[in-house]
Amino acid sequence: MNPPILYIVVPCYNEQEVLPETSSRLLAKLTSLTERERISPASRILFVDDGSKDTTWAQIDALAKSDARFGGVKLSRNRGHQNALLAGLMTAKGMCDCCISMDADLQDDIEAVEGMLTAYSEGCDVVYGVRSSRESDTFFKRTTAQGFYKFMKLMGVDIVYNHADYRLLSSRALEALSQFKEINLFLRGIVPLVGYKSSTVTYVRSERFAGESKYPLKKMLSFAFDGITSFSVRPIRWVTGLGFLLFLASIIAMVYCLVVKILGYTVAGWTGTMLSIWMIGGIQLLCLGIIGEYVGKIYTEVKDRPRFIIEAVSLDPGDREGIVQQVTPVKD
């Protein structure tokens, strides 16, 4: 089997301080992998400039012009990490056998690429890079990030613990990924939905090589919120459940209020006021939850996610053609 064509996709936003080091280290890795025939000489390093305001694009452009193994894509403006990453992945799709996405700041250990390629050669379509420890992170980043993964699990979102966006995807996993048309991108949630055989490679996450984090708390919170609301209708279910409980409680309150009234322990107007507060509150919340359920359904419909992705078809070659054509275009 020929060695695979690997594309390393690196989103960059104002990364002028780290780019010289990142590009030389990545090129050294690419050269060594090519020499050992682990990857094809057609492999590339693809930088995506996410609308940087510094010299990032000028550097990428110069790299691409000086060495054919570098490539660059420039977005018209800053669209955020996830979109920049997707832009790179979709550019690589069709040109590579597999691609690896990683951050520009050298926090993801480049050596883990070896393990990812081994897993790929053993037939994995998705290989997740998983951090073995978070010692290099600040206490704040560590706690918020771990809280985030736990909360996502609680909300029923299937994500890989301690895995960021350092991963290998095969060309068919990329193809499957391209079928997810949603605008609110949360790749960490979508990739597990793609399915196929997957495995993990652990690595120690180091500190940012230079420059500052491009994920301030505000961006991190909005990222987490996007992750939850794009993958889970559980919050709506909780509202419905709460509405139902309140409604039950209002029936009990109604019996209580009537008994108190019949026994004559009340002042005028108390029973009516109490009953309306309980009943209306409960019914309102229940109705809100029910409306929410429908909104949630509409939401999942408009996301237009593929309902399934076929991994293999085992049939007589003649029948196979027809079946594959019949089932593939079906969308959710």
Contact status: 43 vs Mg ion (CB under 5 A): no
Nearer to Mg ion, 108 or 125 (CB): 108
Contact status: 80 vs ligand UDP (CB under 6 A): yes
Does an H or E element contain 282, and which? helix 270-303
* Least distance to ligand UDP, CB of residue 211, Å: 8
User: Which tokens go with 157?
Assistant: 């979102």
CA 221-110-50 angle, to 5 degrees, is 45
Interaction with ligand UDP in 220-279: which residues (CB under 6 A)?
none
Q: Which does 117 bind (CB under 5 to 8 A by kind): Mg ion, ligand UDP, none?
A: none
Task: Tell me which residue of 4, 8, 13, 14 sits closest to 89, measured CA to CA.
Answer: 8
Contacting ligand UDP (CB under 6 A), which of 3, 4, 11, 71? 11
Contacts of 9 (CB under 8 A, 6+ apart): 46, 48, 85, 88, 89, 91, 92, 99, 100, 101, 102
Contact status: 215 vs ligand UDP (CB under 6 A): yes
Binding segment toward Mg ion, per CB under 5 A, in 71-79, 103-111, 198-206, 276-284: 103-111
Contact status: 104 vs ligand UDP (CB under 6 A): yes
Contacting ligand UDP (CB under 6 A), which of 5, 8, 12, 286? 12
Contact status: 81 vs ligand UDP (CB under 6 A): yes
* Least distance to ligand UDP, CB of residue 75, Å: 9
The alpha carbon dihedral of 193, 130, 178, 34 has a sign of negative
State the number of binding residues for Mg ion (CB under 5 A). 3
What is the residue-wise DSSP string for 26-53? Answer: HHHHHHHHHHTTSS-TT-EEEEEE-S-S
Interaction with ligand UDP in 290-329: which residues (CB under 6 A)?
none
Query: What's the Cα-to-Cα distance from 132 to each of 3, 113, 128, 142, 191, rounded to whole Å?
Result: 29, 15, 12, 13, 20
* Least distance to ligand UDP, CB of residue 73, Å: 11
List 48's β-bridge partners, or say none: 11, 73
State the number of binding residues for ligand UDP (CB under 6 A). 16
Contacting Mg ion (CB under 5 A), which of 15, 17, 50, 105? 105
CB 89 within 8 A of CB 7: no
Instruction: Give the type of residue at 119.
Output: A
Contacting ligand UDP (CB under 6 A), which of 133, 213, 266, 284? 213
Contact status: 125 vs ligand UDP (CB under 6 A): no
Nearer to ligand UDP, 39 or 187 (CB): 187
Contact status: 107 vs Mg ion (CB under 5 A): yes
Task: Tell me which residue of 7, 1, 3, 2 sits closest to 113, measured CA to CA.
Answer: 7
* Least distance to Mg ion, CB of residue 282, Å: 47
Task: Tell me which residue of 214, 216, 21 sits closest to 106, measured CA to CA.
Answer: 21
The number of helices, as runs of H, and strands, as runs of E, in the chain is 11, 7
Nearer to Mg ion, 103 or 125 (CB): 103
Contacting residues toward Mg ion, per CB under 5 A? 103, 105, 107
